[in-house]
Amino acid sequence: MQYAKSFSFPYRDWIRSYLPSPTLNIAAESIHRHIEHNVGPDGTVLIVGCGDGGEGLSGFSEEFLENSVIGTDIRETNFAELLSDIHRLPVRDGSIDAVVCQAVLEHIEDVNIAIDELTRVLKPSGLLYIDVPFLQGYHALPTDYRRFTSNGLENTVTKERSLQTIDSGASKGPTSVLLWVTCEYLAYLVSFGNHKLRKTLSVGFRILTFWVKYFDKLLLKTHGFDTRSMTIPSAVYWYGRKKGDESVSAE
- In the chain, where are the structural domains located? 2-242
Query: At residue 138, does pLDDT exceed 60?
Result: yes
Res 9: pLDDT: 43
Query: At residue 105, does pLDDT exceed 90?
Result: yes
pLDDT in tens, 3-16: 333 333 444 555 55
Q: Percentage of residues in the chain with pLDDT exceeding 70?
A: 86
Distance CA 20, CA 23 (A): 9
Res 4: pLDDT: 37
Q: Percentage of residues in the chain with pLDDT exceeding 90?
A: 66
Res 44: pLDDT: 97
Helix axes 174-191, 215-223, angle to 10 degrees: 150
CATH number of 2-242: 3.40.50.150
Confidence tier at 147 by pLDDT (50, 70, 90):
very high
pLDDT in tens, 212-236: 999 888 877 666 666 666 789 999 9
Res 221: pLDDT: 66
pTM recorded for the entire structure:
0.87
Distance CA 13, CA 74 (A): 15
Res 52: pLDDT: 81
Res 12: pLDDT: 52
How open is the CA angle 59-62-63, to the nearest 5 degrees?
120
Over residues 84-92, the mean pLDDT reads 93
Query: At residue 148, does pLDDT exceed 90?
Result: yes
Q: What is the DSSP letter of 251?
A: -
**3-state SS assignment for residue 223:** helix
Q: State the burial class of residue 182 (Cβ atoms within 10 Å of its Cβ: 0-12, 13-18, 19+).
A: middle
Distance CA 156, CA 140 (A): 22
More confident residue, 19 or 213: 213
* Most confidently modeled range among 116-125, 131-140, 224-233: 116-125
Distance CA 130, CA 101 (A): 5
Confidence tier at 248 by pLDDT (50, 70, 90):
low
